[in-house]
């Protein structure tokens, strides 16, 4: 009986069943990390325009390009479909979503609600360091606007919003915002901005920054409403 017990024990006295559970848990974490990496890489390809609206995605081709098995790719594509980046074809395959005006409005309505809540919380919780970094991104964006460096503005604009919104101090809320925030049309619209659009963007960013710096939740709410509604109008009218 003692020999039997010893045979069932390993790794310093842990039963084999615990060892197996630990191995299974590790494998599950690895699987999840691969799926998360695949999701982010495909999402970025969509957002930056490397994968175009209405382009069909083939699971095996993506797996080959990313150097992964098809399992994490399949999980990533399911998530991207749920988040609205992909749409299902009648044949059962997936393609990059070509958002209709109504779908764009729906996404911006979600973002307006989430980002209003986040900026109101940031008014209470943002650290001085977070405010200073957002101010730096804003100042740098003014310079690249003067130089009409669109690609650099896109990156600084994203960094500015991320810094302010993540200052909400609520990881679940920030995770939801990231799910809906960065869409391909957000980047495409910048390329058809007029001089008036650039001026409006500068003013609206400054109001958001001032609201958080002053801890003024009402000002923050008004600033987000104005900013998001300007964005949806421009996207629907211009794209």
CATH of domain 2-96: 1.10.10.10
Token pair belonging to 130 = 């977070």
CA distance 211 to 204: 11
Confidence of residue 8 (pLDDT cuts 50, 70, 90): very low
DSSP per-residue codes, 159-188: HHHHHHHHTT--HHHHHHHHHHH--HHHHH
Average pLDDT value over all residues in the chain: 86
Mean pLDDT within 123-151: 94
Q: 181-196: per-residue pLDDT in tens?
A: 878 777 778 888 888 8
**Do 2-96 and 101-238 fold alike per CATH?**
no
Q: Residue ranges per domain, the chain?
A: 2-96, 101-238
Which tokens in the block code for residue 52?
A: 């175009």
pTM over 0.85: no
Query: What pLDDT does 26 receive?
Result: 47
Weakest-pLDDT range from 8-12, 147-151, 216-220, 234-238? 8-12
Residue 28 has a pLDDT of 52
> Do the beta carbons of residue 57 and residue 96 sit within 8 Å?
yes
Q: Model confidence at 150, in pLDDT bands (50, 70, 90)?
A: confident
* List of residues 6+ apart from 90 with CB closer than 8 A: none
What is the per-residue pLDDT for 157? 92
pLDDT range class, residue 23, cuts 50, 70, 90:
very low
* pLDDT of 51 strictly over 50: yes
As a dihedral over the C-alpha atoms of residue 212, residue 214, residue 216, residue 221, rounded to 10 degrees, the angle is: -30
Question: Is pLDDT of 11 > 90?
Answer: no
Is the confidence at residue 40, as pLDDT, over 50?
A: yes
Q: What is the pLDDT of residue 27?
A: 47
Share of the chain above pLDDT 70, in %: 87
Model pLDDT, residue 169: 97
CATH topology of domain 101-238: 1.20.120
Structure tokens at 220: 């923050």
């Amino acid at each position: 009986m003692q020999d039997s017990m010893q045979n069932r024990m390993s790794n310093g006295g842990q039963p084999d069943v615990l060892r197996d559970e630990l191995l299974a848990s590790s494998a599950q974490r690895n699987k999840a990390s691969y799926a998360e990496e695949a999701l982010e890489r495909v999402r970025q390809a969509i957002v930056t325009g490397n994968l175009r609206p209405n382009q069909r995605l083939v699971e095996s081709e993506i797996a080959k390009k990313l150097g992964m098995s098809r399992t994490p790719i399949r999980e990533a594509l399911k998530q991207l479909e749920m988040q609205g980046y992909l749409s299902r074809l009648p044949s059962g395959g997936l393609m990059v979503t070509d958002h209709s005006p109504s779908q764009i409005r729906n996404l911006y309505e979600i973002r307006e609600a989430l980002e209003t809540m986040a900026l109101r919380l940031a008014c209470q919780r943002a650290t001085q360091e977070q405010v200073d970094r957002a101010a730096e991104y804003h100042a740098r964006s003014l310079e690249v606007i003067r130089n009409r460096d669109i690609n650099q503005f896109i990156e600084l604009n994203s960094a500015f919003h991320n810094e302010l919104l993540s200052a909400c101090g609520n990881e679940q809320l920030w995770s939801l915002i990231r799910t809906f925030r960065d869409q391909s049309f957000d980047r495409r619209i910048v390329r058809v901005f007029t001089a008036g659009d650039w001026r409006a963007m500068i003013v609206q960013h400054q109001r958001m920054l001032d609201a958080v710096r002053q801890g003024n939740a009402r000002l923050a709410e008004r600033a987000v409403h104005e900013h998001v509604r300007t964005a949806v109008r421009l996207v629907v009218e211009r794209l």
